[in-house]
Structure 1
């Protein structure tokens, strides 16, 4: 079973965080949510999220993928955390998946993960970064790096993550149960 880490920072975008966590768990993927700070995480719209563990505890384990929810100031808090930057670098060097949505791809850029890659983000967050080919697509995969635009693309992003980790059949099964069409 695939293992995914979803770090939660104060001010994260709750729609993105919950959608990612929910859809991955629906697919049978083991998801660990980890707070950058101990205790409850207050998301960007005031929703309170209770992480499974702290980031320091989560970092004692290994993961197949790390997924960063966006939102502000959550994405800025991720980008400013040296533990997150080290984790992203380590995951990329190990050939594992890194993913980010909304403003959070700026943390991938800060860690050097987007160098020479195509990526997308909430408008304006990747502009003028050398070495990043910015796309306006809803979801962009370049190798083992996935990025997405924002809250409106969270479900497509999460389903893409499900497909990568469990295959197209499981993605279709999860998506069908959501009654999107």
Structure 2
């Protein structure tokens, strides 16, 4: 799997309050598969990870969302945590960035509370998805077909529920990023 993603560039979109393991494990798996990974956030500087309700480490941001475009990447990862996606979905530039991956038919992987940003981007209708259980009603109300499964893939959109699902999530994300564009993936 070492060079499965050679030449691919994957964005991780996160801000303060992301669930640290939901960024670091996919980051390592995707990087180990040969991709170039970049941390994109609302502002340059550092962002604060969390371990559930306790502070985690800080991470250096590679680029702000104001200076990137989905066209510069081959895929997107949205880690969870409660505060992180809540802040992202309130930022129009971040929401547009996420939506553009779907317009360009590029694979996206979201775990835990990460799908909140997908709801705001208007890209979940008609899709089979999973998430942290508290998002079930939000996803159903936005038109998704919510299921309680470890990992779900629907035309390049990979979703998982929680940190326990990370092995399956990382494996499927790498597979989808390697596959590339999905012609059936639309907004």
Instruction: Report the TM-score range of the alignment, normalised by the length of the smaller protein.
Output: 0.7 to 0.9
Stretch of structure 1 that moved more, 102-111 or 152-161: 152-161
For normalisation by structure 2, the TM-score amounts to: 0.83
State the match for 1:170 in structure 2: none
1:13-72 CA deviation, whole Å, 9 max, x = no partner?
Answer: 100001111110000011111122221111123221122222223338611111100001
Task: Tell me what 1:74 maps to.
Answer: 84
Post-superposition offset of 1:151? 1.4
**Which residue in 1 is equivalent to 2:31?**
25
Write out per-residue CA displacement over residues 67-96 of structure 1, whole angstroms, 9 at most, x where no aligned residue. Answer: 100001112112112112111221111111
- Residues 1:123 and 1:83: Cα distance change in structure 2 (over 3 Å): same
1:94 alignment counterpart: 104
1:161 aligns with 2:173: yes
TM-score with structure 1 setting the length: 0.85
User: Which of residues 146, 170, 173 is equivalent to 1:134?
Assistant: 146
User: Is contact 1:33–1:51 with CA below 8 Å preserved after alignment?
Assistant: yes
Tell me the secondary structure at the aligned position of residue 125 of structure 1: helix
Structure 1 runs of 4+ with >4 Å offset: none
Aligned pair 1:55/2:65, yes or no? yes
**Stretches of structure 1 lacking an aligned partner (at least 5 in a row):** 168-181
Residues 35 and 130 of structure 1, relative CA distance in 2, 3 Å threshold: closer
Deviation at 1:99, TM superposition (A): 1.9
**Where does residue 131 of structure 2 map in the other structure?**
121
1:142–1:158: structure 2 CA closer, same or farther, 3 Å change rule? same
Tell me the number of residue pairs that the alignment of Structure 1 and Structure 2 aligns.
Answer: 167
CA distance in 2, matches of 1:85, 1:106: 10
| Selected match of 2:21 from 15, 21, 43 | 15
Q: In terms of mean alpha carbon deviation, does 122-131 or 141-150 score higher?
A: 122-131
1:42 is paired with a residue whose SS is strand
Q: Specify every segment of 5 or more residues in structure 2 that has no aligned partner in the other structure, as ranges.
A: 1-6, 180-187
